[in-house]
């Protein structure tokens, strides 16, 4: 890195305080109107930026990276998931990648818990009924959902967010089960009273609620495939606050429509911002616009992490949140 202030190109509008601090520290090109960049605009950005700050809405694929100028040394992503970045291409070109782990764990776990409650208890349906002026008053048999307390929750992906979901779930009387690439430490399992399932097929066939909390990687693409969705019992609910690609969305919509799965709470979709039209027709799904980590505090913390990663890198040190391919 040269001694002149590095050119940092930020692809989306970030919190004001973060942008102000970035302007003080770096030579910044901001995106004040927050429109997402096209692939061509991204290519233009990587041709000139020393450091790029993208978000989940930017597809930094091999084609974009092949056009990067030699000055591009760091991609400091604003977010935890890095499936929008071709990590192998970045490594080949000697470009470091950082993310913002840890600071959106609790917010995402809250949203997961909100969906775990909302779907079986038919929260959105009830709200729609009242707003549409169709509510005829209390009845002992209307709007009946299913009890949460005493049910089995199967968490797929027991990383930070999965564990934070498990902590909440315990308080709601759910028994916690999980599947993960690696079994977590014994003391964590004991603390969360969590049961490890080595076989995903075996676990999902026995759960009442399934929560997706693993990252999207080549290994987890369509982890809940059409075949696996068939193993899930018809009274089971699925919640996804991770990435849409982890579930075969078409197969899920079909299974929900046919009553093979009781309901779903989805904060993420396979082709965002497009939502499978079949899902829009179903009453037994709660659909949210990828807002799991959308808190003012969280966005501020994420921005601070981006700044620390860039500043450390510019000062010639290894940034704290370096992403290595092997991690994903
Ligand atoms: C972020 C997310 O808001 O961090 C992630 O992986 O999915 C979101 O909650 C988004 O990625 C920001 O780029």
Q: Which atom of ligand 1 is nearest to the CA of 298?
A: 3
Say yes or no: CB of residue 293 within 6 Å of ligand 1.
yes
261 with 317, same domain: the answer is no
135 with 282, same domain: the answer is yes
Beta bridge partners of 286: 265
Whose alpha carbon is nearest atom 1 of ligand 1?
79
242 with 167, same domain: the answer is yes
Whose alpha carbon is nearest atom 9 of ligand 1?
293
Residue pair 13/32 in contact by the 8 Å Cβ criterion: yes
| Domain containing residue 277 | 105-287
Active site residues: 243, 272, 290
194 with 220, same domain: the answer is yes
Per-residue pLDDT of the chain in tens (328 residues, 90 and over written 9) = 445 789 999 999 999 999 999 999 999 999 998 999 999 999 999 999 999 999 999 999 999 999 999 999 999 999 999 999 999 999 999 999 999 999 999 999 999 999 999 999 999 999 999 999 999 999 999 999 999 999 999 999 999 999 999 999 999 999 999 999 999 999 999 999 999 999 999 999 999 999 999 999 999 999 999 999 999 999 999 999 999 999 999 999 999 999 999 999 999 999 999 999 999 999 999 999 999 999 999 999 999 999 999 999 999 999 999 998 766 6
Residue pair 321/98 in contact by the 8 Å Cβ criterion: yes
110 with 249, same domain: the answer is yes
193 with 51, same domain: the answer is no
Domain count, the chain: 2
Check which CATH number belongs to the domain holding 89 and give it: 3.40.50.720
pTM, whole model, 2 decimals?
0.96
Q: Is residue 140 part of a domain?
A: yes
- φ/ψ (deg, to 5) at 263: 180, 170
Say yes or no: CB of residue 215 within 6 Å of ligand 1.
no
308 with 197, same domain: the answer is no
Query: Between the CA of residue 218 and those of 71, 179, 221, 246, what are the distances in Å?
Result: 29, 17, 5, 10
Whose alpha carbon is nearest atom 7 of ligand 1?
81
Q: Is residue 50 part of a domain?
A: yes
Q: How far is the CA of 63 from the centre of ligand 1 (A)?
A: 22
Q: Is residue 2 part of a domain?
A: no
238 with 124, same domain: the answer is yes
36 with 145, same domain: the answer is no
């Amino acid at each position: 890195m040269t001694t002149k202030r590095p050119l940092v190109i930020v692809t989306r509008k970030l919190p004001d305080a973060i942008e102000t601090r970035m302007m003080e520290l770096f030579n910044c090109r901001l995106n004040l109107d927050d429109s997402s960049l096209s692939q061509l605009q991204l290519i233009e950005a990587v041709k000139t930026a020393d450091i790029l700050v993208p978000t989940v809405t930017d597809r930094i694929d091999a084609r974009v990276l092949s056009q990067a100028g030699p000055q591009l040394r760091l991609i400091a992503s604003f977010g935890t998931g890095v499936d929008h970045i071709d990590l192998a291409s970045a490594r080949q070109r000697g470009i470091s990648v950082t993310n913002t782990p840890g600071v959106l764990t609790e917010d995402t776990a809250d949203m997961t818990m909100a969906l775990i409650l909302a779907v079986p208890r038919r929260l959105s349906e009830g709200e729609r009924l009242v707003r549409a002026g169709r509510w005829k008053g209390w009845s002992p048999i209307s709007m009946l959902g299913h009890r949460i307390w005493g049910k089995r929750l199967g968490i797929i992906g027991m990383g930070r967010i999965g564990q934070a979901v498990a902590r909440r779930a315990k308080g709601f009387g759910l028994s916690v089960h999980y599947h993960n690439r690696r079994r977590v430490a014994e003391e964590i399992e004991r603390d969360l009273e969590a049961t490890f399932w080595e076989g995903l097929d075996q676990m999902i066939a026995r759960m009442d609620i399934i929560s997706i909390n693993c990252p999207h990687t080549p290994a987890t693409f369509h982890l809940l495939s059409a075949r696996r969705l068939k193993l899930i019992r018809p009274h089971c609910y699925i919640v996804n606050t991770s990435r849409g690609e982890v579930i075969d969305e078409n197969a899920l919509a079909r299974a929900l429509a046919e009553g093979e799965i009781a309901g779903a709470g989805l904060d993420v979709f396979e082709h965002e911002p497009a939502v499978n039209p079949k899902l829009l027709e179903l009453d037994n799904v709660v659909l949210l616009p990828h807002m799991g980590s959308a808190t003012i505090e969280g966005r501020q913390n994420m921005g601070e992490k981006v700044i620390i990663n860039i500043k450390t890198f510019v000062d010639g040190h290894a940034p704290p949140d370096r992403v290595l391919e092997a991690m994903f």
